[in-house]
Chains A and B, each alone.
Chain A
Amino acid sequence: MEKRVIILGGGPNRIGQGIEFDYCCVHASFALKEDGYESIMVNCNPETVSTDYDTSTRLYFEPITFEDVMNIIEKEKPIGVILQFGGQTPLKLALPLKNEGVKILGTDPVAIDIAEDRKKFSKLLEKLNLNQPPNGTAFTYEEAKKIANELGYPVLVRPSYVLGGRAMEIVYDEESLKEYIEKAVEVSPEHPILIDKFLEDAIEVDVDAICDGQICVIGGVMEHIEEAGIHSGDSAMVLPPYSLKKEIVEEIKESTKKIALSLNIIGLINIQYAIKNDKVYVLEVNPRASRTIPFVSKAIGIPLAKLATKIMLGKNLKELNFTEEIELNYFAVKESVFPFNRFGNVDAVLGPEMKSTGEVMGIDKSFEIAYAKSQLAAGQNLPIRGNVFISVKDKDKPHIISIAKELEILGFKILASAGTGKVLSEAGVNVKIIPKIYEGRPNILDYIINDEISLIINTPSGKKPKKDIVSIRTIAVQRNIPLITTIPGAKATLYAIKKLKESQLNVIDIKEYYKMRKDGGNN
């Protein structure tokens, strides 16, 4: 009889846990079959490739709950269960299954516990001499207030008992903190809230790596386009980094290897970092397949989830001939797509809670074109001429000047709200000030409805946005006008538009890119 391995799938798609995890499960199944194992898939999502009849040796169309999974384990008697590929769904079963004596393949569930337990996690980072944003845990409102004051606003607050950025918020002052605790979450001895110093304007980075316990190889370092504070599942990312210093990228890679080896990772690991004033902070460690594994795998041409499966079954990276990181001489940009147009009057703004349903990739030899492609693929029709409406929060006003100037040079006409317009005009930009909604007619809404606006740059203020700011963004989404809500996003868009004006978009088979790699696609 062949040896059997059970793979637990990701269950229903939802925001935060989508096709990326199914992709990883399917790769696990392929890897098992390649190496002569019987692969047993458990999943209940009919939309997926993992529940196709010929993906695995056997398929159980069942709920992913303790009872249903245990029943299958008793019947199949597998040599082990893989649960680091299906997102949070199977991970929740790690300890209950382990307690029943089920062998969990790959990284020990203890590592998951260390990564998720705040105290143990801090201790680990301290031991490895790595930084983490100053933080604390509050059991009462009074405590929360005290911790926030000590750390200094803004702070990132979230309940300790939820995952995936649910109910996570950036709080800018005491009043908002009070409101958050009163309205959004319960705080009690059973349900503490976690408070982190929020690193404003930091650059965030995601790293995916693979480790066999002996060596750790970096899959990819992805620099986020949007600044810190936007959920990594919603942020655009570029692989390799386009603006970070070489030393910083090296430091990030070294830190990743240190963490992976000290947690004794057998399989995949994802780590999120923030960089502020050239200092690297560790934000989060996920000892499992992350949402970005398919993106990285496609960008570098290496099936990371497949390799990870083989490692879980006892092979090492040397045997698998993957001991060196792949260096790219092209850029891959991941952009997210959002369902705002489905939900009527909701504000189309990004934050620490994930809202995107899916992703696209733009790939090219130049970063600007790769970014432009990612925008087109995500449905943002970048204009190369027309009117740009700009309205940004005070903090962003100094940064918008150079962007507006360049847009003007590119032939765009600049329209702005009064506040932003004043700053731009003083800086020498030829700007037409138009009223916001409720400030007279014709206002921005009239311009939008008359199709006279081809791009909107509108950054939300940290505090609760004013009513009409919501409307501008909401209308933009309803009317499918390209909308940019962050300064780094505006910069990247500017570069992309510039490049689009001077060159054509070329289409290239992804396999041609792999041949362009520095290793000639031989890995």
Chain B
Amino acid sequence: MPKRTDIKRILLIGSGPIIIGQACEFDYSGSQACKALKEEGYEVILVNSNPATIMTDPDMADKIYIEPLIAEIVAKIIEKERPDALLPTLGGQTALNITTQLYEMGILDKFKVKLIGANYYAIKKAEDRELFKKSMEKIGLKVPKSGIAHNLKEAEEVAKKIGFPVIIRPAYTLGGTGSSIAYNIEEFREYAEVGLKASLISEILIEQSLYGWKEYELEVMRDLKDNVVIICSIENFDPMGVHTGDSITVAPVQTLTDKEYQNMRDAAIKIIREIGVETGGSNIQFAVNPENGEMVVIEMNPRVSRSSALASKATGFPIAKIATKLAIGYTLDEIPNDITKKTPACFEPTIDYCVVKIPKFNFEKFPGSLPYLSTSMKSVGEVMAIGRTFKEALQKALRSLEENFFGLEDINLKMELEDGLRIPNPYRVFYIKKAIKEGKTIDEIYNLCKIDKWFLSNIKEIVDFEKEIEKFKNREIDYETMKKAKELGFSDRQIGKIVGKSEIEIRNLRKRYGIEVDYKCVDTCAAEFIAYTPYYYSTYEHPEVIKLE
């Protein structure tokens, strides 16, 4: 289908200041959207209150309003600029909330502004817990047991019906503000009150806690011809109970059987169709019971999200740009993939590497706060690393954090070992290391933290190999050990620390052995086609190449 010619001026709403739960990923998506719209010859009117963004640079849009992101102000901009359409899905929850308000105030009708990317009813169906639950039940998918309350009395009745522990989620907030887990009625009363206050419409959802279940996300896109593609699958390292933004996450999923994964894909496709996001990207979260593979749908974001940015970077597939092009009428088969230039956007990306994201925390800045993780997001940033294996990517991600460890080292841990495993916290992966070193079995560790045994076994491989490296304390490490260590993601500095040498000494020795890093390309297609806009990641994996005579 050709692009729409009935619209010429498009209003784009940004996400405002960087806050926990809504960071610069929306500058990334907004900038891509601006570029995509201008490329297609549309006039772009932009509003964002954050000056530290690329999207508010003078040449990114035709009109740039650095003004407060509140509905009344955006209404004034609409009145002045008279855009034909509003694209609300690239500025996070802020843009979506303002759009809903503008619709309900009648501003969009009054000035004949069309919503593109997601319509009001799709937003409502995805965001309103009760409507969402009904939609899921309609297409035969399970959601956690839950109920809605508008005051404390209602809330208590719902909680009693579901049974403790329960999760309390305020409606219409971002990054899980005011969301929490209550284990008893007293905690419940306290949290429910905070939640009611945090919600724009004084509404909370009380939900069955899926403690110990595994958590997944799929990034999905749909076009006007009803094509649906899955861009990326993401698995949370931490089980349910930790906000996705605060969990270590891994792409692609690692611990599902093919059957489980195909079920999840099918469900995602059904969901985006049922909710009615006609064009663009959505993020859908699932939980899977490790005991029996039972799957429930947790939630859906009918917009580009934090995970979309991660999925884009992990696969090379520019979700925000494609979402924008879909919103103005193109279909997935019509949009070329910039990286291969050959394949259209309806080719699902293929990943032949492993991506690990680790969040970054700043608890030390807030004396009195406890460094525990829960359903309300607390991290202030994140790093992503790419490797050939989970082990390599994990160690690279850890040293990207700039916290004075250069891989999975031994660090000072403050909690008792069992607490550190049981209570989600920023350093849980180091507690796992400690437990392995102290001789705890994978099963024992699993019972405390419920992190999938596949991840635990991989961490054990790293820890076990550290012992091999240790054998070279104060003498020259041999070629084989060095090579294996690098493949497992150990940094020069980390190896040096283990054997009592400096980083430079290890580096020089490694070079003498001819063990050099290799760079591989993130190309969306696992090297099936040539990549034109390459970006790279390093690895020490050098596959044996069999040469045919």
Residue of A nearest to B511 (CB): A74
CB <8 Å contact, B73 and A507? yes
- Chain B positions within 8 Å of A, measured between CB atoms, are 16-20, 23-25, 27-28, 31-32, 49-54, 56-58, 63-70, 73, 76-77, 80, 177, 194, 197, 306, 309-310, 313-314, 316, 318, 338-339, 357, 360, 362-370, 376-378, 380-386, 396-397, 399-402, 406, 491-493, 503, 507, 517, 519, 522, 533-538
A127 within 8 A of B: no
- Are the C-beta atoms of B313 and A61 separated by less than 8 Å? yes
- Could you write out 23 A-B pairs with CB less than 8 Å apart? A11-B400, A11-B402, A12-B382, A14-B362, A14-B380, A18-B52, A20-B52, A22-B24, A47-B28, A53-B533, A58-B534, A60-B519, A63-B397, A65-B400, A294-B51, A298-B51, A337-B18, A342-B20, A342-B377, A343-B363, A343-B366, A344-B369, A361-B51
Residues of A within 8 A of B17 (CB): 337, 357-360, 377-378
Give Cα distance in the complex from A62 to B67, angstroms: 36
Nearest residue in B to A41 (C-beta to C-beta)?
A: B535
Q: Is A355 an interface residue (CB 8 A)?
A: yes
On chain B, the residues within 8 Å of A378 by CB distance are 17
The answer to whether A360 and B50 have CB atoms under 8 Å apart is: yes
**A contacts with B, residue count (CB < 8 A):** 80
Write out the residue numbers on chain B whose beta carbons fall within 8 Å of the beta carbon of A361. Answer: 49-51, 66
Q: Are B50 and A15 in touch, CB under 8 angstroms?
A: no
Q: Are A46 and B368 neighbours in the complex by a CB distance under 8 Å?
A: no
Q: How many angstroms between the C-alpha atoms of A299 and B519 in the bound complex?
A: 41
Known: A54-B338, A377-B67. A49 touches B24 (CB 8 A): yes
- Interface flag for A77 (CB, 8 Å): no
A48 to B23, alpha carbons, bound, how many Å?
Answer: 9
Per a CB cutoff under 8 Å, which of B52, B314, B318 touches A295?
B52
The 3 lowest CB-CB distance pairs between A and B, nearest first, are A358-B18, A13-B381, A59-B535
> 7 more A-B contacts (CB under 8 A) besides A12-B383, A298-B56?
A11-B402, A23-B54, A49-B28, A61-B384, A342-B377, A353-B365, A354-B365
Residues of A within 8 A of B (CB): 11-15, 18-20, 22-23, 26, 44-49, 51-54, 58-68, 70-72, 75, 89, 166, 294-295, 298-299, 301, 303, 332, 334, 337, 339-347, 353-355, 357-363, 373, 376-378, 478-479, 505-511, 514
Given the known interface contacts A23-B53, A60-B538, A358-B18, the answer about A45 and B384 at a Cβ–Cβ threshold of 8 Å is yes
Report chain B residues within 8 Å CB of A332.
Answer: 51
Question: Is A341 a contact partner of B177 (Cβ separation < 8 A)?
Answer: yes
- Given A337-B17, A376-B68, the answer on whether A61 and B56 have CB atoms closer than 8 Å is no
Q: Which residue of B lies closest to A509 (CB)?
A: B63
Tell me, rounded to whole Å, the shortest Cβ–Cβ distance linking B283 to chain A. 15
- B320 nearest CB across to chain A (Å): 9
Docked pose: A506 CA to B76 CA in angstroms: 8
On whether the beta carbons of A52 and B66 are closer than 8 Å, the reply is: no
Residues in chain B near residue A506, CB distance under 8 A = 76
Using CB atoms, name the residue of chain A closest to B32. Answer: A52
When distances are taken between beta carbons in the complex, the residues of chain A under 8 Å from B534 are 58-59
Residues of B within 8 A of A46 (CB): 25, 309-310, 313-314, 357, 382-384
Q: Does B309 lie within 8 Å of A47, measured CB to CB? A: yes
Query: Is A61 a contact of B177 with CB atoms below 8 Å?
Result: no
Q: Give, as a whole number of angstroms, the nearest-CB distance from B169 to chain A.
A: 15
Q: Which residue of A lies closest to B311 (CB)?
A: A46
Q: Within the assembled complex, what's the spacing in Å between the Cα atoms of A342 and B533?
A: 39
Which of A66, A359, A479, A511 meets B64, CB within 8 Å?
A511
Q: With A46-B382, A71-B538 in contact, is A13–B23 under 8 Å at CB?
A: yes
- By beta carbon, the residue of chain A nearest B510 is A67
Complex CA gap A343/B365 in Å reads 10
For B49, the chain A residues whose CB sits under 8 A away are: 360-362, 377
Minimal Cβ-Cβ distance residue in A for B177: A341
